[in-house]
């Protein structure tokens, strides 16, 4: 959040066609404060319902850092507001689950500090692009005597495997964007001056896809870890059948036969 008394909104939203860019607006550290999480929860629900939005880019304000994570100075206030530390953490888990479960792809833009909640938030996104220089990515909670609390242990292990996750968390390692790419934590690495545009280009490419099919893939892939093989295959079949006979499915088939790029409309 922004400093007390500031009139700056905690989040900035900008729409370019079917792509919305959300900016965490507390430069340079972009702390994930109480008001910001309230606003992110509301905006996540609104974006899920907005049919004009097909992809979301998530970034930190300024050119220095994505986010240093939770504003720890606000923790006592959060407990007073919500009644318990569990309630504070539950909201953050709820927001990240809503992002991860949304049937529209999210792209996180990771530069500078991406620490604690500043990594757990990108881990809930479907794509992550990182700066080739200056990124410091990690879950340093053990240095504070505690454990990652927003799903970081689970999502990081699912993303890069148990051994790599244990190495990062138990040694409180802060890795570079290049190393994050090497171990599969991020999808792409770009120079700092290209990073934002590359993330937007990726989101634009995703937004141009057939929306019903994209939603089906996200449902099938994201939820697969919690299902048996038979249940996951049944979800995939439902996703396939939802596309059959749609305008986008017919356009895709026609474009293939005509050897041209399809023009999807989301229908």
Q: Give the active site residues.
A: 120, 141
Residue 181's alpha-carbon distances to 33, 50, 108, 185, in angstroms, are 28, 32, 14, 6
Q: For strand 19-24 and strand 55-60, is the pairing parallel, antiparallel, or unpaired?
A: parallel
Alpha-carbon span 164 to 175, nearest angstrom: 11
Grouping H, G, I as helix, E, B as strand and the rest as coil, residue 175 is: strand
Exposure string (b/e) for 141-176, b if CB count within 10 Å is 16 or more? beeeeeebbbbbbebbbebbeeebbeebbeeeebbb
Q: For strand 55-60 and strand 106-110, is the pairing parallel, antiparallel, or unpaired?
A: parallel
Alpha-carbon span 106 to 160, nearest angstrom: 19
Q: Provide the token pair at 259.
A: 């050897």
């Amino acid at each position: 959040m922004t400093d007390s008394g500031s009139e700056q909104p905690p989040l900035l939203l900008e729409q370019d066609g079917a792509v919305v860019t959300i900016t965490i607006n507390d430069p340079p550290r972009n702390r994930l404060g109480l008001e910001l999480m309230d606003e992110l929860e509301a905006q996540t629900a609104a974006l899920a319902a907005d049919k004009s939005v097909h992809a979301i880019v998530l970034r930190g304000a300024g050119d220095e850092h994505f986010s240093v994570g939770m504003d720890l100075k606000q923790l006592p206030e959060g407990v007073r507001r919500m009644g318990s530390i569990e309630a504070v953490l539950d909201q953050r888990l709820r927001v990240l689950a809503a992002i991860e479960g949304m049937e529209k792809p999210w792209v996180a833009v990771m530069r500078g500090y991406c620490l604690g909640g500043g990594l757990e938030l990108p881990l809930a996104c479907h794509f992550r692009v990182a700066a080739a220089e200056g990124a410091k990515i990690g879950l340093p909670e053990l240095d504070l005597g505690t454990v990652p609390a927003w799903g970081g242990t689970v999502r990081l292990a699912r993303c890069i495997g148990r051994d790599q996750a244990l190495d990062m968390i138990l040694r409180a390692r802060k890795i570079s964007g290049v190393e994050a790419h090497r171990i599969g934590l991020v999808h792409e690495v770009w120079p700092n001056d290209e990073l934002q545009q590359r993330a937007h280009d990726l989101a634009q490419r995703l937004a141009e896809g057939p929306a019903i099919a994209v939603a089906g893939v996200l449902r099938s892939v994201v939820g697969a870890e919690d299902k048996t093989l038979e249940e996951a295959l049944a979800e995939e079949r439902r996703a396939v059948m939802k596309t059959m006979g749609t305008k986008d499915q017919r356009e895709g088939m026609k474009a293939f036969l005509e050897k041209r790029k399809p023009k999807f409309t989301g229908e």
